[in-house]
Chains A and B, each alone.
Chain A
Amino acid sequence: MSQTAEAHAPRSRSLPAPRVLLEKATGLGLVAILGLWLVVQLVRTPERFAGALVEGVNVGAIYALIALGYTLVYGIIELINFSHGDLFMLSTVLGAFVVITVFGATSPTLGGFGVLALGLVVTMTLAATVNVAAERLAYRRLRKAPKLAPLITAVGLSFVYQWGGVRTNGSGQKTWDSLLGDSGFTVAGISVPWSMVLVTGVTIPLLMLMMWIVQNTRQGKAMRATAQDQDAARLMGIDVDRTIAFTFAVGGALAGAAGVLYLQTVENTRWDAGFRLGLYAFTAAVLGGIGRLDGAVLGGFLIGIIQNLNDSGMLPFGQKWSQTVVFTILIMLMVFRPEGLLGRPTTEKV
């Protein structure tokens, strides 16, 4: 192969075919129509619109935390970890156990927040441990197997976690009180629940910490190198097995945090809560460009906001259609921009 061709081929751009242009125009047209509709709603009922945004950011933060677990694991070993949503569900149950069953923290006192912080730490640690154990016991030995094998294993683990949820939380929905309840405050006519301040106040530092770890620490460099080329990483002296385990630990810990925070806003959980949330978070990861950390965060907030705009009637489809709207977005994205919003236009990862 000639060196110049190899170096420049990925960057060269030929003129797009008419069909591609048409597809682009259609996609942009649809986005423009929806955008216009939103602007009209914003002018007509600015307070409801802002309220929907606030709610959207609130759930979006939780989607982002879960989406990162999908994207981290996919980025490093190209596995779509189908059981990740159920790990989140287990975290909601575990969080409820620590915060409420053990310590009975249901009011916004200093002690209550202390217990919540403890619950976060315990749940994040345990969820990380479970995720690392899954990697160590199941996925690691399948690393060289055909891709379908670890995928099926993930689906199997998902059932194991759900069974764990049924055994601990029962087969029906259980309601758990949150610290902050419905309390909130109003700024400029927009009511903001305190729980949202809590969720974003925990999520945003966590996200920033994670980005910093991946960009700047030795461990983060090892993660990025391993994601790009495992054998080359080994030749640098990187312990690839440990690096992959660390990645699962980070993903698990974020799911743990998401579980505790979810319970503080939604106040109930059930053994199948991981299915819908997991699917939304996975959609968020794909929307942002799977394997991209910033993409997962962007995708999480976008899905949360779109879903809540629709829930509150800001989009012309009605609340019943929220799930449909979210997945239609996913399908349209797969057609018009399969690499995701921030992904590279190739099949490369991370």
Chain B
Amino acid sequence: MSATTDDRPELRVRDREVLLSVTDLYVHYGNIAAVKGVTLAVGTGEIVTLIGSNGAGKSTTLRTISGLIRPRRGDVVYRGSSIAALPGHRIVAAGICHSPEGRRIFPRMTVRENLDLGAYLRRDAAGVTADLDRVLDLFPRLKERIDQKAGTLSGGEQQMLAVGRALMGDPTLLLLDEPSMGLAPVLVDLIFDTIRTIRDQGTTVLLVEQNALAALRVADYAYVLESGTLKLEGPARDLAKDEEVTRAYLGG
């Protein structure tokens, strides 16, 4: 934890403290390699995006950071210590909350119960109440549906719930996996605006997206993943102008 005062070069990235770093990560499903040697870093206060086409290994990378899958090789270091061998619940306790692909809300619980579960590990009742207000301010639609079963929400509302639930854990680092998936364009804009707000309120964000254009617009830095390996990285603004990226991912 001395990382906060250390200024060795490997502990800083893009003029910020490194909050999370993934080094030479290999993840397999059975014998199939899904992630092959990915290295990336997220600095405190950044929005970093991980883009790439379907099947590139983006979700697998996030699931490994969260401890849902074990890497075969490589390391995940968070605030200066390795979390690669920790069980998922310990990683949440360390301050990493994950809004997973496909939303994965608890359909037979109410919106309120889902949000409460997001704060499962927290003991600061006052802080939880404050965060509930904050989440309901970010997503007023959830307030209207607070006592409704989550399974009866529309896709967009479920997505808001998944993001809101992750925020209820008061994360230091928020992992978002395709928060814009299947949403109407208006809602996509709302979600991306909200991601910026969340960062401005002090949470670091690692954002996985297939909607590369929107992701590059909101992010500070981007990594492009292809078939499990890093293809490209750079400041999001530069990548948005990069011809190769535009051709491959932005339909330009």
Residues in A lying within 8 Å of B, measured CB to CB: 1-4, 6-7, 10-11, 218, 221-222, 224-225, 228-229, 231-241, 348, 350
B89 partner, pick from A4, A224, A239, beta carbons under 8 A: A239
B156 partner, pick from A3, A11, A232, A238, beta carbons under 8 A: A3
Contacts of B93 in A (CB 8 A): 237
Taken together as a complex, chains A and B put the C-alpha atoms of A10 and B154 apart, in Å, by 12
Q: Report, nearest first, the 10 A-B pairs whose CB atoms are least far apart.
A: A3-B155, A237-B92, A234-B88, A237-B121, A232-B104, A7-B154, A236-B120, A236-B117, A228-B106, A239-B89
Interface segment out of the listed B1-9, B36-44, B107-115, B214-222: B107-115
The bracket for how many chain B residues form the interface is 35 or more
What are 23 pairs between A and B in contact, CB < 8 Å? A3-B182, A3-B183, A6-B155, A7-B153, A11-B152, A221-B113, A221-B120, A225-B109, A228-B108, A231-B104, A232-B100, A234-B67, A234-B68, A234-B92, A235-B68, A235-B92, A236-B118, A237-B88, A237-B120, A238-B89, A238-B117, A240-B89, A350-B108
Contacts of B67 in A (CB 8 A): 234
The answer to whether A235 touches B104 (Cβ under 8 A) is yes
Taken together as a complex, chains A and B put the C-alpha atoms of A234 and B93 apart, in Å, by 11
The secondary structure that dominates the A interface is helix
The answer to whether A348 touches B108 (Cβ under 8 A) is yes
Residue of B nearest to A234 (CB): B88
Min CB distance A18 to B, Å, is 30
The answer to whether B100 touches A222 (Cβ under 8 A) is no
Taken together as a complex, chains A and B put the C-alpha atoms of A234 and B66 apart, in Å, by 9
Taken together as a complex, chains A and B put the C-alpha atoms of A218 and B88 apart, in Å, by 18
Taken together as a complex, chains A and B put the C-alpha atoms of A2 and B183 apart, in Å, by 8
The answer to whether B89 touches A234 (Cβ under 8 A) is yes
A229-B154 in contact given A221-B116, A221-B120, A224-B109 (Cβ < 8 Å): no
Contacts of A235 in B (CB 8 A): 66, 68, 88, 92, 97-98, 100, 104, 166
A232 partner, pick from B105, B113, B152, beta carbons under 8 A: B105
Verify if B140 is at the interface (C-beta below 8 Å from A). no
